[in-house]
Amino acid sequence: MASRFNPTKADAHWQTVWEDGGTFRASDESGRPKSYVLEMFPYPSGRIHMGHVRNYTMGDVLARYRRMKGFEVLHPMGWDAFGMPAENAAMERKVHPGEWTRANIATMKAQLKRLGFALDWSRELATCEPDYYGHEQALFVDLFEAGLVYRKESEVNWDPVDMTVLANEQVIDGRGWRSGALVERRKLSQWFLKITDFAEELLDGLATLDQWPDKVRLMQENWIGKSRGMKFRFALDAPERGAISEIEVYTTRPDTIFGASFVAVSPDHPLAQAYAANSEEVAAFIARCKQGGTTAAELETAEKLGLEIAEAVHPLDPDWTLPVFIANFVLMDYGTGAIFGVPAHDQRDFEFATKYGLEIQRVVAASADQADKPLGGEAESGDGVMVNSRFLDGKDTETAKAAVIARAEAEGWGEGSVVWRLRDWGVSRQRYWGTPIPIVHCAGCGAVAVPKDQLPVILPEDIDFETPGNPLERHPTWKHVACPSCGGAAVRETDTLDTFVDSSWYFIRFASQPGDRPFDPKVAASWLPVNQYIGGVEHAILHLLYARFWTRALKHIGMIDLAEPFQGLFTQGMVTHRTYKDTDGNWLLPEEAEAAKAAGRQVEAGRVEKMSKSKRNTVDPEPIVDQYGADAVRWFMLSDSPPERDLEWSEAGIEGAWKFVNRLWRISEASEAAEGEDKTLDRKLHQTIAAIGTNIEALAFNKAVANIYELANAIEKAPPSASRATSVATMMRLVAPMVPHVAEEAWAAAGHAGLVADAAWPEADPALLIEDEVTIAIQVNGKLKDTIRAAKGAAKEEIEAMAVANAAVQRTLAGAAPRKVIVVPDRLVNIVA
């Protein structure tokens, strides 16, 4: 009566049962301990891809496991629904971005449902709807009023043909990715969030995130980029030129102050600008510095350029003057926009000094007697002993740094200082499909926040993409409003918010979504922080940093009592697939490659790479679900590859997963009631229960899968017994988080009441985790010779005697007496010959 598992029927049936029963709805009022499991919400690009399937399967296993462990689990889903692809689609296909986005959401939601994820759909949200972004506007207004939002001029990449601002990644070889026009740098007035106010906190907070990958914490640490050094001032020797009489520089190497041979300022530095105002030559030089691309490759090879404009006085020697240059390699937005050059100990300064014939004086050496050792054609940036440095001579680098800072502070020309790499977050986007920035510009009152009772500021629907530029800007009526403050004629801000703002607080809205405000602090706090957050490593810096900042900003204004938004973070690997090309070098879809091979044409198999449309190596999950059912796809996503590494999609892999789903079904069907206990199987079962729990909690799904295989092997080998029947029933609970449909089907077929999804996770019996007999390895000089079985906890002497008497040992010793015998109880004996 063996039957095949029918996923088409079973999947639909159980999905309906779960949905109708509200099985996965999270209750705010629950008395059970709460657990919040979240995967990064998707952008509704059109269809679900394998990366989504892998991401959401992992989260689903954890969510279902925690439910069975007795937690009230919040596992929601929503849509990161604003963004450029919708506008691109609007331009290409003449559909409204909203229409396109909402259709994609409907498609993808249906696709997700077919995978049987244990999601609370009642909390679904889409960031493009006013009932989400309206609350975001309210939060923005709160931050604005708290002084965490400000406006400043900032350079953007401007595409003169599309009349739009481009993100850095949309500039390819200095040209707009769509128009191909040469990109200009333009200054626009833009809104910024004061993330730098929280730099120290964001850095310190990383130390508390012990459930985050070290890699991500390190990336954030580097991104925040705390640097300790000294700011100090050079007096200018030509004070008559402009009002500026000194230059402040920043350095991390105050110890090298006597190795200085020049001072350099950025072309954007006020001093450079002041000189440019009076000099054609300087103005022309600055213009030249600004030419050229900003790509990494161009900067790499860019020649160092300098123009000498003045002289500065060394702060430690009034008779020592240094040339002041405008130099193209000095950045205005790091430190003070000015440096002092120490060519012997900084490679950039070395190149600059070499080009302009400036002095290169060693001030750091490996030892005091190497003060005159010539440099080997490049700067030496390491630590050492100070030489040629007057009062610093003989001091080590760290002592010298402290000595210089102490002297500068005592004499008042400088002070120890911390500089951050982190910049404030520019959130203005000159686009339509985003959250309107709730600000009104009034000639009399300036920038005025839209009062909360006038929120949301809703995006107009009647827009056109026929002409380039921001449709909000040229909409006939939308931007014209009365000033909320004085009532006079005013205009709305037509920029929209960076979509990273939308994703900076959606996890709070999932936890609590009242209609009249962004969230209820009490309810939100009852769920937060997110206990386990799962997503791609590509969000390691920006999204995660912005969400951490946003949380702190809300805490700062007293809206939420939460230190960190994400307690545990897991970054999963990508789903990859082999690429194929035909003989003309065109990428082929996997099925095209198959067809071509079948037709006898030559196909070149390329590298295994991340699934991408451009390489045509994608596999659409939906037909796979049609063919094998949700469980096989889920099982494959969890098998073999560790979740943090890439997973290669393969036909063989999904076939294997499908076979296992059927094997589970056969095992459950063939289970018959029988008498008698099977101690070996009992042990295996309880060891498996313990191991799977540990592995799921560690998100080591590949190991949990291996545990299940081992148990299945043991069950199939075991003769009928009461233990065997128990093992089969228990196994259905153990696999339920991973392959929930077949588990429900088998659970119901076995006559259990209720859903396996609601069943309690089995408890491992500690007594059964311990073996009473162990295998002990017998080594000679660390090389394995034999193994023996012995009672657990057997006396050392007894084991040692057995080992020495062992035939293989005797053969190896060849009559010689052992020099030493090491016995590790219950593990091994090593005989040193």
Q: What residues between 796 and 825 interact with RNA by CB under 7 A?
A: 808, 811-812, 820, 822, 824
Is the Cβ of residue 188 or residue 537 nearer to RNA in the bound state? 537
Q: Is 556 in the site for RNA (CB under 7 A)?
A: no
Is the Cβ of residue 452 or residue 666 nearer to RNA in the bound state? 666
Closest distance to RNA from the beta carbon of 202 (Å): 15
Q: Which of 3, 189, 245, 781 binds RNA (CB under 7 A)?
A: 781
Is the Cβ of residue 117 or residue 658 nearer to RNA in the bound state? 658
Residue 556 phi/psi, 5-degree rounding, is -55, -40
- The stretch near RNA (CB under 7 A) out of 134-142, 297-305, 498-506, 798-806 is 297-305
Closest distance to RNA from the beta carbon of 828 (Å): 5
Cα–Cα distance, 251 to 110 (Å, whole number): 57
Q: Is 500 in the site for RNA (CB under 7 A)?
A: no
Is the Cβ of residue 145 or residue 773 nearer to RNA in the bound state? 773
Is the Cβ of residue 93 or residue 789 nearer to RNA in the bound state? 789
Give yes or no for a contact between 353 and 335, defined as CB atoms under 8 angstroms apart: no
Cα–Cα distance, 25 to 19 (Å, whole number): 9
Q: In what order do the strands lie in the sheet with 489-492?
A: 446-449, 439-442, 489-492, 480-482
Q: Peptide bond before 529: cis, by omega within 30 degrees of 0?
A: yes
DSSP string, 98-160: HHHHHHHHHHHHHHHHTTT----GGG-EETTSHHHHHHHHHHHHHHHHTT-EEEEEEEEEEET
The residue with tokens 């063939």 is 670
Q: What is the CB neighbour count within 10 angstroms for residue 234?
A: 24
Q: Which of 406, 674, 791, 832 binds RNA (CB under 7 A)?
A: 832
Q: Which of 339, 632, 729, 735 binds RNA (CB under 7 A)?
A: 339
Cα–Cα distance, 34 to 74 (Å, whole number): 8
Closest distance to RNA from the beta carbon of 763 (Å): 19
Q: Is 830 in the site for RNA (CB under 7 A)?
A: yes
Cα–Cα distance, 555 to 202 (Å, whole number): 13
Closest distance to RNA from the beta carbon of 226 (Å): 10
Closest distance to RNA from the beta carbon of 345 (Å): 9
Q: Which of 784, 795, 801, 805 binds RNA (CB under 7 A)?
A: 784
Is the Cβ of residue 128 or residue 739 nearer to RNA in the bound state? 739
Closest distance to RNA from the beta carbon of 162 (Å): 25
Give the distance between the most distant pair of CA atoms in the chain: 108
Which residues, 277 to 296, sit near RNA by CB under 7 A? Answer: 296
**Sequence-distant (≥ 6) Cβ neighbours of residue 207 within 8 angstroms:** none
> Can you name the residues that pair with 188 across neighbouring β-strands?
154
Indicate left, alpha or beta for 791 from its phi (over 0: left) and psi (-120 to 50: alpha): beta
Is the Cβ of residue 30 or residue 222 nearer to RNA in the bound state? 222
The residue with tokens 């009022």 is 29
Closest distance to RNA from the beta carbon of 181 (Å): 24
Which residues, 638 to 697, sit near RNA by CB under 7 A? Answer: 639-642, 645-648, 652-653, 655-656, 659-660, 662-663
Which two tokens mark 29? 């009022």
Cα–Cα distance, 199 to 422 (Å, whole number): 7
Cα–Cα distance, 136 to 454 (Å, whole number): 13
Q: Is 703 in the site for RNA (CB under 7 A)?
A: yes
Output the CA–CA distances (angstroms, integers) from residue 248 to 278, 333, 339, 340, 805, in the order listed: 22, 14, 8, 9, 82
Shortest CA distance to 460 belongs to which of 497, 433, 482, 498? Answer: 433
Q: Which of 335, 414, 568, 693 binds RNA (CB under 7 A)?
A: 335
Which residues, 714 to 733, sit near RNA by CB under 7 A? Answer: 716-717
- The beta-strand segments (E) located in 496-625 are 496-497, 532-536, 569-572, 575-582, 587-588, 603-610
Closest distance to RNA from the beta carbon of 224 (Å): 11
**Half-sphere exposure (CA, 13 Å, Cβ side) for 471?**
18
Q: Which of 253, 475, 543, 634 binds RNA (CB under 7 A)?
A: 253
The residue with tokens 């190991």 is 703
Cα–Cα distance, 90 to 107 (Å, whole number): 18
Which two tokens mark 116? 């049987």
Cα–Cα distance, 512 to 508 (Å, whole number): 6
Closest distance to RNA from the beta carbon of 794 (Å): 14
**Half-sphere exposure (CA, 13 Å, Cβ side) for 384?**
20
Is the Cβ of residue 524 or residue 705 nearer to RNA in the bound state? 705
Q: Peptide bond before 456: cis, by omega within 30 degrees of 0?
A: yes
Closest distance to RNA from the beta carbon of 104 (Å): 26
Closest distance to RNA from the beta carbon of 667 (Å): 9
Is the Cβ of residue 128 or residue 711 nearer to RNA in the bound state? 711
Q: Which of 88, 154, 179, 252 binds RNA (CB under 7 A)?
A: 252
Q: Which of 619, 692, 705, 803 binds RNA (CB under 7 A)?
A: 705
Which two tokens mark 198? 């929280």
Q: Is 791 in the site for RNA (CB under 7 A)?
A: no
Q: Which of 157, 190, 266, 503 binds RNA (CB under 7 A)?
A: 266
Closest distance to RNA from the beta carbon of 290 (Å): 11
**Sequence-distant (≥ 6) Cβ neighbours of residue 57 within 8 angstroms:** 115, 117, 633, 634, 637, 638
Is the Cβ of residue 170 or residue 787 nearer to RNA in the bound state? 787
Residue 227 phi/psi, 5-degree rounding, is -130, 130
Which residues, 575 to 604, sit near RNA by CB under 7 A? Answer: none
Shortest CA distance to 63 belongs to which of 78, 76, 48, 52? Answer: 76
CA–chain centroid gap for 4, Å, is: 42
Which residues, 202 to 241, sit near RNA by CB under 7 A? Answer: 214-215, 218-219, 222-223, 225, 227, 229
Applying CB under 7 A, the site for RNA has a residue count of: 79
Q: Is 300 in the site for RNA (CB under 7 A)?
A: yes
Is the Cβ of residue 368 or residue 784 nearer to RNA in the bound state? 784
Q: Which of 30, 245, 713, 810 binds RNA (CB under 7 A)?
A: 713
Is the Cβ of residue 137 or residue 251 nearer to RNA in the bound state? 251
Handedness of CA 636, 641, 647, 652 (dihedral sign): negative
Closest distance to RNA from the beta carbon of 59 (Å): 19
- The stretch near RNA (CB under 7 A) out of 522-530, 677-685, 760-768, 782-790 is 782-790
Is the Cβ of residue 460 or residue 656 nearer to RNA in the bound state? 656
Amino acid at 58: M
Q: Is 779 in the site for RNA (CB under 7 A)?
A: yes
Which residues, 355 to 414, sit near RNA by CB under 7 A? Answer: none
Q: Per-residue contact track with RNA, 523 to 542, x per CB under 7 A?
A: --------------x---x-
Is the Cβ of residue 20 or residue 300 nearer to RNA in the bound state? 300
Which residues, 404 to 463, sit near RNA by CB under 7 A? Answer: 419, 421
Closest distance to RNA from the beta carbon of 617 (Å): 16
The residue with tokens 């607080």 is 505
Q: Which of 55, 57, 251, 532 binds RNA (CB under 7 A)?
A: 251
Closest distance to RNA from the beta carbon of 288 (Å): 12
Q: Which of 697, 710, 765, 800 binds RNA (CB under 7 A)?
A: 710
SS3 499: helix
Q: How far apart are the first and last CA of the chain?
A: 62
Is the Cβ of residue 369 or residue 655 nearer to RNA in the bound state? 655
Which residues, 746 to 775, sit near RNA by CB under 7 A? Answer: 774-775
Is the Cβ of residue 613 or residue 645 nearer to RNA in the bound state? 645
